[in-house]
Amino acid sequence: MCWGLVMTDLAKEIQRIGSMAVKEAQRKSLENGVANVYSKNGQLYYQLPNGTYTDEMPENYKKLAEKDK
């Protein structure tokens, strides 16, 4: 038995389970009216509950950001 192969299979299974959990959490966020936030090359993007993507911060996030100041 090659341990490298076993770890590779284990790593793939862990990644598969993690990916499923992330997708479920993202789906639930959108169902609850909460935008998903992504970062690409340091730029933030928001997936809104209606499914559209934007680089503009949603109003409810702006309100939270102001409270934290």
Domain range summary for the chain, segments of one domain joined by +: 3-68
| 3-state SS class at 38 | strand
- The overall longest dimension of the chain from CA atoms, in Å, is 57
Q: Compute the distance between CA of residue 9 and CA of residue 11 in angstroms, rounded to an integer.
A: 5
Tell me the average pLDDT across 28-57: 96
| N residues, the chain | 69
CB burial of 32-48 (b: ≥16 within 10 Å; e: otherwise) equals eeebbeeeeeeeeebbe
Over residues 46-69, the pLDDT tens digits come to: 999 999 999 999 998 888 888 777
Q: CB–CB of 39/57 below 8 Å? A: no
**pLDDT > 60? residue 1:** no
